[in-house]
């Protein structure tokens, strides 16, 4: 009897332990959406370098986006797991001499700058020279980044004379934080100039929306021969631009003349986007063609707009009504595009995996191109902005 009782007790104890382990992997619905999404990311990608299903550590913009969102989350809901998750990514890539593994300076790819935002806080806390050296390397890239004749950063070396909306988010928030932290703000006018060029050359006067890209040389087959703009409005590219504005404004001094200018750009964009918001609260993949067959309500652009509108309203850059519009967008996401997994994971559906212009195979920027690019659940371009939007909305 004693032996049987011991075995029975052991089975019960093991069962309780197993249940505890399972519960540790279950995400509580009582958490805020921001925390649930962060927990999902960490559950699905046990190491931070694995974000976007990477099989080896690489310096990449999607890691920069998601981990920057988690950095913001950690400010409002401190958790050592967030700190460890963020730092582990940086420490996988930054070597003792400050070199960045997998990063290729000579590619002049502005996408590779944004992950550098993670280094400011870590360097500020540790004062370790390797992080400063990495920061300086990325600043050097900006210094040497090829420019269009008007002074705009090329998106990449392989895309000469092209400015993409994506690139404003990839480069300018890092650039302004660096110049305000280490250079007494000497480059503020240059940062504002990047937005000025886009506003002047890439904005459609009829809708107020901005095209995905602008080729100053007008040489690319996708470029309008008169204006140099690409053919369509892509919601995620507009989302990158909106996020760039609100994040850059964090560091642009209010008494600087370019501050008011950037705020005006944000207001123009917000005003232009509202008429194209679907009654569900969501925006379409091709922003202005909601009624055209094949178009779909897309998650990443919507999450980005929700974040930018909510932050803009919270900071006083936008009127209060935009907070309600942001809330409607966020509710549209959670009500229509979010599924809950068996362990409580937040799964965002209908997120465009990738889209670009030119390249090989060639991407022509047509309506058909954008709506036929593959979709991916919990694409990091959706999960990161979802966390940021949830934080601004206290969700």
Residues in a beta bridge with 347: 339
- The catalytic site residues sit at 166
The strand pair at 297-298 and 338-340 is best described as: unpaired
Provide the sign of the torsion angle of the four alpha carbons 235, 315, 244, 318, taken in this order. Answer: positive
The angle that helices 165-182 and 117-126 make with each other, rounded to 10 degrees, is 20
In the three-class reduction of DSSP (H, G, I as helix; E, B as strand; rest coil), residue 157 is classed as coil
Do residues 251 and 299 make contact, with C-beta atoms less than 8 angstroms apart? no
- Using DSSP bridges, classify how beta strands 346-348 and 213-215 pair: parallel, antiparallel or unpaired: unpaired
Helical packing angle, 188-201 and 235-248, nearest 10°? 150
Alpha helices in the chain (DSSP H): 2-24, 33-44, 61-76, 80-93, 117-126, 129-144, 165-182, 188-201, 235-248, 257-273, 299-315, 321-332, 367-372, 380-392
Determine the Cα–Cα distance for residues 326 and 254; give it in Å rounded to an integer.
Answer: 24
Q: Do 212 and 357 contact (CB within 8 A), yes or no?
A: yes
Total residue length of the chain: 395
- Beta-carbon contacts of 109 under 8 Å, excluding residues fewer than 6 positions away, are 155, 156, 157
């Amino acid at each position: 009897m004693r032996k049987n009782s011991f075995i029975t007790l052991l089975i019960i104890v093991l069962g309780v332990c197993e249940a505890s382990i399972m519960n540790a992997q279950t995400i509580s619905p009582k958490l805020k959406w921001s925390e649930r999404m962060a927990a999902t990311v960490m559950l699905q990608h046990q190491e931070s370098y694995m974000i976007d299903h990477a099989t080896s550590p690489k310096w990449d913009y999607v890691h920069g986006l998601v981990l920057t969102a988690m950095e913001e989350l950690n400010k409002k809901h401190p958790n050592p797991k967030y700190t460890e998750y963020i730092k582990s990514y940086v420490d996988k890539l930054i070597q003792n001499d400050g070199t960045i593994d997998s990063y290729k300076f000579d590619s002049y790819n502005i996408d590779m700058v944004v992950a550098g935002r993670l280094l400011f806080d870590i360097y500020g806390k540790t004062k370790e020279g390797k992080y400063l050296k990495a920061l300086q390397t990325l600043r050097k890239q900006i210094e040497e980044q090829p420019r269009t004749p008007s002074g705009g950063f090329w998106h990449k070396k392989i895309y000469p004379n092209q400015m993409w909306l994506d690139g404003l988010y990839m480069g300018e928030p890092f650039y302004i934080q660096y110049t305000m932290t280490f250079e007494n703000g000497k480059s503020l006018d240059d940062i504002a100039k990047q937005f000025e060029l886009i506003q002047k050359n890439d904005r459609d006067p009829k809708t107020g929306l901005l095209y995905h890209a602008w080729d100053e040389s007008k040489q690319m087959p996708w470029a309008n021969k008169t204006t140099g703009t690409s053919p369509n409005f892509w919601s995620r590219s507009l989302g990158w631009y909106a996020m760039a504005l609100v994040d850059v404004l964090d560091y642009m001094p209010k008494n600087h003349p370019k501050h008011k200018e950037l705020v005006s750009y944000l207001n123009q964009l917000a005003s232009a986007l509202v008429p194209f918001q679907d009654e569900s609260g969501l925006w379409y993949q091709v922003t202005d063609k909601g009624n055209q067959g094949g178009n779909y309500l897309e998650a990443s652009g919507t999450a980005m707009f929700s974040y930018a509108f909510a932050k803009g309203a919270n900071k006083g850059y936008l009127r209060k009504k935009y907070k309600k519009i942001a809330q409607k967008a966020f509710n549209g996401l959670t009500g229509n595009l979010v599924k809950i997994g068996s362990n409580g994971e937040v799964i965002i559906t209908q997120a465009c995996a990738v889209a670009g212009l030119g390249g090989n195979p060639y991407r022509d920027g047509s309506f058909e191109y954008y709506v036929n690019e593959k979709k991916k659940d919990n694409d990091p371009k959706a999960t990161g902005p979802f966390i940021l939007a949830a934080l601004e909305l206290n969700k």
